[in-house]
Amino acid sequence: MTRPFDIRHYRGFFAVTCACLVILYAPLIIVMIYSFNDSASITNWGGVSLRWYVDVFTGPDSEKFKLAAWNSLSIAVMAATVSTTIATAAAIGMIRGGQFKGKSASFALISLPIMVPEIVTAVATLIFFSTIGFKLGTLSILVAHIVFCIPFAYLPISARLQGIEASFEEAAQDLYASRWATFRYVLMPIMGPGILSGFLLAFIISLDDFIITNFIKGAGVETLPTAIFGSVKQGIKPNIMALSTLLLMFSICLVTLSYFIGKRGEANPPPQT
């Protein structure tokens, strides 16, 4: 049977999709292009060069950028590790715990960092740290990052665990495996892709955070986003565009990595009994 039209397709939707992608990518691509500009002005084009990339690593601001990059990376690695560990334990408790009192309250608490607007979290954390006399600095940033990374790590981990049947753990238990051995040698390998994408998600979220870090970083401590923000406040400079492009490429690599991990997870679904 033929219809006068294809019911799935609407004229113009393809054009809107293209417009959507142009809107999303145009600013990023233009900044990428201008980061290769040889001119010291951000307006005039002076030919292609890597001058500003060299400047990021050796220029007058390079020490500041290196320190900020080190802070960002070390905080992101630690925050992602701790929050992934906490989220993995929480996911097993929630998904494998059956029905218990306070289950929905626990879920609400785990999702709280996503529900509260970032700026409110920033204000509350600043007030809390200053009231208890916690010194603002790298440690305060790390603690705050661990908190808001937990729900982002929790989501893919719990999604993966939901697809895994309990029979594997029960088989291990029947063979007298301890609870820890059951987790370490049976459950964790099957949960692997979920834990890995949870870790990557938490890592990117921590690396990207500006608002909360900006509130509680204290004097003198900078991460890459706060360093870029401080610099941009005095006007966009070409070396900032080069640095942004580097950070951009790094994020895109991570996303691509997590995409392929997700693909492999789909190719290796949790075994069925």
Which parts of 172-231 interact with another protein (CB under 8 A)? 172-173, 179, 182-183, 204, 207-208, 210-211, 214-215, 225, 228-229
Q: Are 93 and 107 in contact (CB under 8 A)?
A: no
Instruction: Strands of the chain (E only): list them.
Output: none
Which of 69, 195, 221, 241 is the binder for another protein (CB under 8 A)?
Answer: 241
Which of 67, 73, 77, 86 is the binder for another protein (CB under 8 A)?
Answer: 86
Q: How far is the CB of 124 from another protein (least distance, A)?
A: 4
Q: Which residues of 12-30 are buried (b: 16+ CB within 10 A; e: fewer)?
A: eeeeeeeeeeeeeeeeeee
Residues 6+ apart with CB under 8 A from 152: 83, 114, 198, 201, 202, 205
Site pattern 143..172 for another protein (x: CB under 8 A): xx-xx--x---x----xxxxxxxxx-xx-x
Total binding residues toward another protein, as defined by CB under 8 A: 108
Q: Are 160 and 96 in contact (CB under 8 A)?
A: no
- The residues with which 48 forms a beta bridge, in sequence order, are 37
Q: How far is the CB of 1 from another protein (least distance, A)?
A: 8
Q: How far is the CB of 258 from another protein (least distance, A)?
A: 9
Rg (CA), the chain: 23
CB nearer to another protein: pick between 60 and 180:
180
Piece in contact with another protein (CB under 8 A), picked from 48-56, 58-66, 73-81, 128-136: 128-136
Piece in contact with another protein (CB under 8 A), picked from 52-60, 61-69, 73-81, 126-134: 126-134
Instruction: Give the C-alpha separation, 254 to 111, whole Å.
Output: 24
- Which residues between 1 and 60 bind another protein (CB under 8 A)? 3, 5, 7-10, 12-14, 16-17, 19-21, 23-28, 30-31, 34, 42-43
CA-wise closest residue to 216 among 142, 149, 146: 142
Which of 54, 116, 175, 188 is the binder for another protein (CB under 8 A)?
Answer: 116
In which residue are the tokens 């790298």 written? 138
Degrees to nearest 5, angle at CA 265 with 259 and 268: 145
CB nearer to another protein: pick between 62 and 106:
106
CB nearer to another protein: pick between 54 and 252:
252
